[in-house]
Amino acid sequence: MQIIALIVSTIAMIITGVALWFTISSFKKQLQLNFFSDYTKRYQEIILKFPDSIHDKDFNLNELDELNRDRTIRYMRAYFDLCSEEYYLKTQGHIDIDTWQEWETGIKFALSKPAFQQAWKSLNLDSIYYGSFSNYLSKLLENEKKQL
């Protein structure tokens, strides 16, 4: 009888452990989805504030009227803030490689545009952000110049 009770309790513990593992795994996936969704929403809110011409090859921040220039610079700063957060999360191992690759592709795309290059220089953000993020963006900008 004791052997049967031991077997039943062992099976019950295994079933409970498996159920707990599935619950935690599902919860973790949901948190990751919510996290990614939050960053995507923040990105969209920033990007929608940019002028329509932001991706033009001949875009020049200095040619905007003062109101639009100040507004664009403010949202460029918010964009670079978001990028630095994403970079920090990547360096700390808080996001998976697939998420980082998606975000990095977007950062590289943005930095291929004159508007973002001008904003980085104009804001002199490399003196505000921590060194590794500034170095990362500097390398991306150098690579962009080499491709031209």
**How much is the average pLDDT of 56-71?**
92
Distance CA 133, CA 135 (A): 5
Question: Residue 102 belongs to what domain range?
Answer: 49-147
Q: Is residue 124 part of a domain?
A: yes
Give residue 127's pLDDT.
59
Q: Is residue 70 part of a domain?
A: yes
Spatial CB neighbours of 90, under 8 Å, sequence gap ≥ 6: 100, 103, 104
Give residue 44's pLDDT.
94
How many domains is the chain built from? 1
| Averaged confidence pLDDT in the chain | 88
Q: Is residue 112 part of a domain?
A: yes
Cα 109 → chain centroid:
13
Q: Is residue 83 part of a domain?
A: yes
Q: Is residue 11 part of a domain?
A: no
Tens-place pLDDT, residues 74-90: 999 999 999 999 999 99
| Structure letter (DSSP) for residue 93 | T
Q: Is residue 31 part of a domain?
A: no
Sort 104 into a burial class: Cβ within 10 Å, 0-12 / 13-18 / 19+.
Answer: middle
pLDDT exceeds 60 at position 126 = no
Q: What is the pTM of this model?
A: 0.78
Q: Is residue 111 part of a domain?
A: yes
pLDDT exceeds 60 at position 72 = yes
